[in-house]
Amino acid sequence: MGYTVRIESAEVVITSPGRNFVTLRIVTEDGVTGLGDATLNGRELAVASYLRDHVVPLLLDRDASRIEDTWQYLYRGAYWRRGPVTMAAIAAVDTALWDIKAKAAGMPLYQLLGGASRSGALAYGHASGRDVPELLDSIRAHLAQGYRAIRVQTGIPGLASVYGVASSSAGGGERYDYEPARRGSGSRVLPAEESWDTRAYLRHVPTVFEAVRQEFGPELPLLHDGHHRMTPIQAARLGKALEPYDLFWLEDATPGEDQAALRLIRQHTTTPLAIGEVFNHVHDYTTLLSERLIDYVRSAVTHTGGVTAMRKLLDLAAVYGIKSGIHGPTDISPVGMAAALHLDLAIHNFGIQEYMPHTADTLEVFRSSFRFQDGLLHPSDTPGLGVELDTEAAGRFPYQPAYLPVNRLADGTVHDW
């Protein structure tokens, strides 16, 4: 019957080397260890409890080689389906089992997924600045680091801090785009509150891209994230205004829950659209894919059911000529990033990979073998995912409550972040 092996133990590890991560560590009876990322930024303990209290007891003594069956067992057997907490927990189990299977086979995961379709995954970096001169300096720095594609975010005149801008006053000394979840002091931690002005944003952003194109020319792929802050007609207006600057994509222009909103945007602009980092299931995409309302799928392996589910989602996207743009900020642990890179290398319809280097403390906890060189990422040829967890190092960084910011309009109304 081929390779079968019993799951002997499963442990949930919570660690915070600069930011919070949740990792599932599965060990088989023959000593093979698999890791899965279950991090849900700002709601980490909810996933940890789901795993520890409800999932781990179901895993013990199961056959670690039965990945598809285990996925369906956890998804269908719970009755309560979908949702970020459930899908992050299932993703951790699924990714850990793929890690085990690839290690048992003695090959990197991408080989089990069909082998490499490319030599590396094109990655984009995050350049930002409070004003245009600072932004241009940030782009130059990213190009010097080897990036071939750049996400452009900028401060907005009149707003003290803007989510995604590294030097924003909300950053507290560290890069605000790398760790937007703010850590508080004392016994009660509350989300930071920021002001937002959509009309000012819509006026300002086209002038920013005009300056960037004047400085760096037409060839550099440029991306921009709207962080769900626009209505459909506002997003359509921005997409139209940005057409002269040939964006690689406009991301998360509207709140992701309203798939029909993308129809209106698509009617008014040819700027490519990307969405999905807050999605967690293929059914979140069915309208977007079948009607070709987007150009790039932005889900993360960590939040969308793991390698098994993401592969199915991306295969469905390929039917409609839609490419991948897997979510990859630093609230995806190196385990989740490695899983994404193995998929990137194997799938046919790869588009681009988001990449933000993790901190030295994080890489002390997660011993990672993937590499970034000449603008491309490669997951390495180490058997499995190519990431190992140093549990002793993880124990030196205890969990700290941290929450993403809340945005308010001038009248005090809570707005999308």
Q: Which of 88, 90, 94, 93 is nearest to 38 (CA)?
A: 88
Contact 34, 103 (CB under 8 A): yes
Q: Which of 269, 272, 338, 270 is nearest to 300 (CA)?
A: 338
Q: Long-range contacts for 144-149 (Cβ within 8 Å, ≥24 apart)?
A: 146/372, 146/373, 146/374, 146/375, 147/123, 147/375, 148/122, 148/123, 148/220, 148/221, 148/374, 148/375, 149/122, 149/123, 149/124, 149/125, 149/220, 149/221, 149/222, 149/223, 149/248, 149/352, 149/375
The dihedral of CA 352, 354, 359, 361: what is its sign?
negative
Contact 90, 75 (CB under 8 A): yes
Give the Cα separation of 299 and 319 in Å (integer).
Answer: 17
Q: How many CA atoms lie within 13 A of 79 on its CB side?
A: 1
- Tell me, yes or no, if 296 is annotated catalytic: no
Q: What is the DSSP string of 129-187?
A: ESSHHHHHHHHHHHHHTT-SEEEEEE--TT-S--TT-TT-GGGTTS-TTT--SEE--SS
Q: Residue 334: left if φ>0, alpha if ψ -120 to 50, beta else—which one?
A: alpha
Q: How far from each other are the two terminal CA atoms of the chain, in whole angstroms? A: 51
Question: One of 75, 163, 201, 245 is an active-site residue; which one?
Answer: 163
Question: One of 227, 228, 342, 378 is an active-site residue; which one?
Answer: 227
Q: Which helix (H) or strand (E) holds 114?
A: none
Cβ neighbours of residue 29 closer than 8 Å, sequence gap 6 or more: 5, 6, 7, 8
- Tell me, yes or no, if 163 is annotated catalytic: yes
Query: Beta-carbon neighbour count of residue 89 at 10 Å?
Result: 31
The residues annotated as belonging to the active site are 163, 227
